[in-house]
Structure 1
Amino acid sequence: MIKGFIFDLDGVITDTAELHYAAWKKLADDMGWQFDRDLNEKLRGISRMDSIKVIMDYNKVFLDEETIVELATKKNDIYVESLDSMTQEDYLPGAKELLTHLRSEGFSVALGSASKNANKVLKQLNAIHFFDVIGDGNSVSKSKPAPDIFLFASEKLGLPPENCIVFEDAEKGIDAAKAGNFHSVGIGPKERVGHADIRFNTMKEATLFEVKSHFKDLF
């Protein structure tokens, strides 16, 4: 039986993608590196340190680990400053409604995000109260596609993976859910999350009714 829901943050609850893009673009411009939206798409769902290494590989740049950490921190500072502009109006359409519905029906709910700024984002959205457990980039050492963040969340909820549904918008996120033996809901285009158990183009389509209809034998 499904008793828990685990949500990615960026692209599922809210869309900070544009803020991340702007921060990486600023860093890349300062460094004289090439960076565009196609490259930015490859960063979806992966950690900050993995992201900067993808950008460096693309630009054929080699730096020592200390410098890489400094640059990743600089990018994060730019991004965190931009979070101050977020408000309770910045939920993706349908996300707040789903979280409210899950709360009213008594399901356990966790966050499973690679972001180390998840708490800040949730506070800006006034969303902390929707979650029993917050798993973020500080919770585990291995980022997606390793299933560790989802396993952390389900363990803290006191539920086995097969009793949980993961909501993800990234290919690596769905890979992580599958690796951990979770049920999965993909948010986004087929070419990115078509390997999820069920896929919706947007969170607005991913209502509890639709999810229950698909996983009807599990409710």
Structure 2
Amino acid sequence: MGKFEQIKGFIFDLDGVIANTSVYHAKAWHQLADKVGVSWTTDLANQLKGVGRMDSLNLILKSGNKENDYSDEQKASLAEEKNDNYLQLLKSLDKSEILPGMEKFIEDLSAHNYLISLASSSKNSPRVLEALDLNKYFDARVDPATLKHGKPDPEIYVRGAQVLNLKPEECIGLEDAVAGITSINGAGEISVGIGDPEILNEADINFKDTSEVTLENIESAMKRKLNV
């Protein structure tokens, strides 16, 4: 792990890190699982965290041994239906859904001249940031439509540094899912896991929830790791 002083940029996942939109995704996927006759479980919901739309659909179908029951065209239609459900749910989204401490943290990063990018697999992320009134703080975002691979592949976080014109070792990525932490680590960036540290045990730094995420706490955690 590099020194805190080397850090120039922060790369954010969206769902479950900045806002509670993961709840809306889960509701929309639950609706779809019911439609195709697949039992919705906590384990299945956890598997979908941080995973792209088509990969999530395939995980749901596989869970019910239905992965061969639909053509690619039918799968695309199901994925579109899920997205329509999600967009309907999003209409109620506002700043109250920003997770504790995250607006202040993002404001603090901007005030200290850190570059900020978004590495969300959600194609609706611009709409979400706008609803949360956080767009103004983000210097760039990765367009998931341009990616060849979803998380846990490192591509999205590699690109998250590139859109800021930074090297991976100059960036910190923040995630709440195992797939996301694997992606950050694979990109050669410092990973911050937000959630159960036993589940996110591959993260370089762990915080139990977003309220603990501050520049000061990240700097302290990095110095402890380096025994500085």
TM-score bracket for the superposition, by shorter chain length:
over 0.9
Once residues 171 and 76 of structure 1 are traced to their aligned partners in structure 2, the CA distance between those partners, rounded to angstroms, is 23
Residue 7 of structure 1 deviates from its aligned partner by 0.6
Alignment of 1:69-148 (within 5 A): 69-148=76-155
Residue 136 of structure 1 deviates from its aligned partner by 4.0
Once residues 215 and 145 of structure 1 are traced to their aligned partners in structure 2, the CA distance between those partners, rounded to angstroms, is 24
Residue 88 of structure 1 deviates from its aligned partner by 1.3
Give the TM-score normalised by structure 2: 0.92
Alignment partner, residue 44 of structure 1 = 49
Runs of 4+ in structure 1 deviating by more than 4 angstroms, as ranges, are: none
Percentage of matched positions with identical amino acids: 38
- Letter of the 1:114 counterpart: S
SS of 1:193's equivalent in the other structure is coil
Cα distance per residue 1:22-58 (max 9 Å; x no partner): 1111112222222222211110111010001011111
Alignment partner, residue 181 of structure 2 = 174
Once residues 67 and 46 of structure 1 are traced to their aligned partners in structure 2, the CA distance between those partners, rounded to angstroms, is 20
Alignment partner, residue 25 of structure 1 = 30
Alignment partner, residue 3 of structure 1 = 8
Cα distance per residue 1:52-87 (max 9 Å; x no partner): 101111101121111111101100110011111000
SS of 1:144's equivalent in the other structure is coil
Give the TM-score normalised by structure 1: 0.95
- Letter of the 2:111 counterpart: S
Once residues 133 and 9 of structure 2 are traced to their aligned partners in structure 1, the CA distance between those partners, rounded to angstroms, is 21
Matched, 1:196 2:203: yes
Q: Report the RMSD for the aligned CA atoms in angstroms.
A: 1.2
Alignment partner, residue 149 of structure 1 = 156
Once residues 200 and 139 of structure 1 are traced to their aligned partners in structure 2, the CA distance between those partners, rounded to angstroms, is 31
Once residues 98 and 145 of structure 2 are traced to their aligned partners in structure 1, the CA distance between those partners, rounded to angstroms, is 23
Once residues 36 and 60 of structure 2 are traced to their aligned partners in structure 1, the CA distance between those partners, rounded to angstroms, is 11
Residue 139 of structure 1 deviates from its aligned partner by 3.5
SS of 1:34's equivalent in the other structure is coil
Residue 188 of structure 1 deviates from its aligned partner by 0.5
- Letter of the 2:40 counterpart: F
SS of 2:141's equivalent in the other structure is strand
- Letter of the 1:137 counterpart: P
